[in-house]
A and B are shown apart, each in its own frame.
Chain A
Amino acid sequence: MSCWDTVQMYALRSLGYGERLLPRDDFTICQQVTLIGSGMMWNVYFGVLALAAGFFLATALALGKASPQLWLRKPAQWFIFVFRGSPLFIQFFFAYFAFLSLKQLSPLFDPFSSAWMGALVVLFLNTAAYSGEIFHGALMSVPKGDMEAADAYGFTGWARFRKITWPTMLRLAWPAYTNEAIFLFHATTLVFFSGFPARQQKGDALYYANYFADKTFNPFIPYPILAGYFILVTLVIIGVFGLVNRRLNRHLPVARKMRMRLRAPLMR
């Protein structure tokens, strides 16, 4: 059987298409690369959607935490504290328990005990908390002068936020936010590992890597393959976020751009 046949059989296995039975003997490198790659689709799915949705909640949380209103500030503070203060491992555990009991109340919650929905919600809340903290930090360090200039030009309310505060906040937060994105993609490997059960052997990259390590009794091939895929994903993230960063900083003189890049702290 050629490698191309294997790819056709297993490339979409993680979504439930193609060959039903996973390989059981005569394991080849090609099978491992194909199936682990197939599982990567789930990691990308969780990562991209959680990040995209989390971005908006994070902005809201940052504004909430910076708000002078107590009833806005306290919930935002607590949300960020709880989700940043506890391991994702434990969050998955509680979420799975909670979703199972909600399921008894209404069939509306049925999808939540499956990974595609339930784990996505947990990852979304988790990344929103971490990004919210990063955005809050950035919001606090928006230069006073920028705001005064905005006032002088007559910007108020929504327009001031949309045109001045928000872009500056993003610009300041971007290096740390890039790190958060990388961490989030790494965190997606926990979904099937500790959180949610895998149904019909449809799992993420780590699930298949684990499967092969288990069947071949040799961890030294599947896990490095998994690592290779993640290094690729990380490079893509750094590339894409770098482009956005360039766009966010396009109005700055070169020297200041350099300084921005160098001050990048690791936030998470």
Chain B
Amino acid sequence: MKNILIGTAALAMLATAALAESHSVVRLGTEGAYPPYNFINDAGEVDGFERELGDELCKRAELTCEWTTNDWDSIIPNLTSGNYDAIIAGMSITDERKDVIDFTQNYTPPSPSAFAAMSADLDLESAVISAQTGTIQAAHVTSMGGATLLEFANPDETIAAVKNGEADAVMADKDFLIPVVEESGGDMSFVGEDVALGGGIGMGFRKSDPELREKFDTAIQSMKDDGTLNALIVKHLGEDSPKF
């Protein structure tokens, strides 16, 4: 008991010793498991479209940023309780989420979600479809009538389930599925129509933190205006991904 109090006190003092004004460092929270948007590279660092985008936005907004990873499940509660200041994790702008946090304008156009399967002539209406728990795709599958939803905790497992036959198809953001389908050597292919879900991807902020959101919003706008955002989209998400 005593030890822990001393430990915490020591930490608190350390934290205080490193004093400076508020918001001099902005902490960006991401999942680190959703390529090409964000993933952990071979060196163990956050990498991908959002890494490059986030760093550029911080530069334009003249902020110092730190990256941190958090489990997808608790990514919003940890933002609202102040463990980091922004979410930049391939998070689609939805009404549900807007009740709790504020988004910047989108930094990718509403991009389609798609189904990928091992056989091209699959009837999606009666198929078993895997999706990551708590995503807009999982919510969509539940409203598809005859389809059966199979939920997994992380995106890798949803793909693995299709490969091992547990699920007939996987539903996810098309940008996430494109490299998977390409690399599968013809085993997997897109099936059915793409579905437009959500209002594009944006950065999430606490509702009580409008100034910070404003800064990033302005930075995103400036990247849209000078075409650098489109260039980033092409570089990371591919030629076919919708642009502004």
A-side residues, CB < 8 A to B, are 20-22, 24-25, 100, 103-104, 113, 193-194, 197-201, 210, 213-215, 217-219
What residue of chain B has the Cβ atom nearest to residue A216's Cβ? B100
The answer to whether B100 and A197 have CB atoms under 8 Å apart is: no
Interface positions, chain B 88-105, Cβ under 8 Å from A, are 96-97, 100-101
One of A22, A194, A210, A217 near B100 (C-beta < 8 A): A217
1/0 contact trace for B146-172 toward A, CB 8 Å?
Answer: 001111110001000100111000000
- B68, CB-defined interface residue at 8 Å: no
One of A22, A200, A214 near B133 (C-beta < 8 A): A214
One of B130, B134, B152, B165 near A214 (C-beta < 8 A): B134
Give chain B's interface secondary structure class.
mixed
The answer to whether B150 and A199 have CB atoms under 8 Å apart is: yes
The answer to whether A200 and B148 have CB atoms under 8 Å apart is: yes
- B227, CB-defined interface residue at 8 Å: no
B180 to chain A, nearest CB (A): 18
Q: A21-B142, A214-B133, A217-B100 are in contact. Are A197 and B77 (CB under 8 A)?
A: no
The answer to whether A197 and B139 have CB atoms under 8 Å apart is: no
The answer to whether B142 and A201 have CB atoms under 8 Å apart is: yes
- Residues in A with CB closer than 8 Å to B96 are 24-25, 215
- B22, CB-defined interface residue at 8 Å: no
A57 to chain B, nearest CB (A): 28
The answer to whether A197 and B134 have CB atoms under 8 Å apart is: no
Inter-chain pairs besides A103-B165, A219-B74, 6 sampled, C-beta below 8 Å: A20-B142, A21-B143, A194-B153, A200-B149, A214-B134, A217-B76
B239 to chain A, nearest CB (A): 34
B-side residues, CB < 8 A to A, are 73-74, 76-77, 80, 96-97, 100-101, 128, 130, 133-134, 139, 142-143, 148-153, 157, 161, 164-166
B207 to chain A, nearest CB (A): 12
One of B77, B100, B130, B151 near A201 (C-beta < 8 A): B151
Q: How far is the CA of A150 from the CA of B101 in the complex (A)?
A: 73
- Residues in A with CB closer than 8 Å to B77 are 213, 217-219
A202 to chain B, nearest CB (A): 10
A–B Cβ pairs within 8 angstroms, 26 of them? A20-B142, A21-B142, A21-B143, A22-B142, A100-B166, A103-B165, A104-B165, A113-B166, A193-B153, A197-B130, A197-B150, A197-B151, A197-B161, A197-B166, A198-B133, A198-B150, A199-B128, A199-B150, A201-B151, A210-B133, A214-B73, A214-B133, A217-B80, A217-B97, A217-B101, A219-B77
- Residues in A with CB closer than 8 Å to B152 are 197
What residue of chain B has the Cβ atom nearest to residue A114's Cβ? B166
- Residues in A with CB closer than 8 Å to B143 are 21
The answer to whether B164 and A100 have CB atoms under 8 Å apart is: yes
A15 to chain B, nearest CB (A): 15
A131 to chain B, nearest CB (A): 30
What residue of chain B has the Cβ atom nearest to residue A25's Cβ? B96
- Residues in B with CB closer than 8 Å to A210 are 73, 133
The answer to whether A24 and B130 have CB atoms under 8 Å apart is: no
Q: How far is the CA of A201 from the CA of B164 in the complex (A)?
A: 21
What residue of chain B has the Cβ atom nearest to residue A199's Cβ? B150
What residue of chain A has the Cβ atom nearest to residue B145's Cβ? A20
- Residues in A with CB closer than 8 Å to B134 are 214
What residue of chain B has the Cβ atom nearest to residue A218's Cβ? B77
B33 to chain A, nearest CB (A): 15
Q: How far is the CA of A210 from the CA of B133 in the complex (A)?
A: 10
- Residues in B with CB closer than 8 Å to A193 are 153
Pairs A-B, 4 closest by C-beta atoms:
A214-B134, A217-B100, A197-B150, A217-B76
- Residues in B with CB closer than 8 Å to A25 are 96
- Residues in B with CB closer than 8 Å to A20 are 142
Q: How far is the CA of A100 from the CA of B166 in the complex (A)?
A: 8
- Residues in A with CB closer than 8 Å to B97 are 217
Q: How far is the CA of A124 from the CA of B8 in the complex (A)?
A: 42
Q: A217-B76, A217-B80, A218-B77 are in contact. Are A199 and B100 (CB under 8 A)?
A: no
- Residues in B with CB closer than 8 Å to A194 are 153
Q: How far is the CA of A113 from the CA of B166 in the complex (A)?
A: 8
Q: How far is the CA of A61 from the CA of B143 in the complex (A)?
A: 48
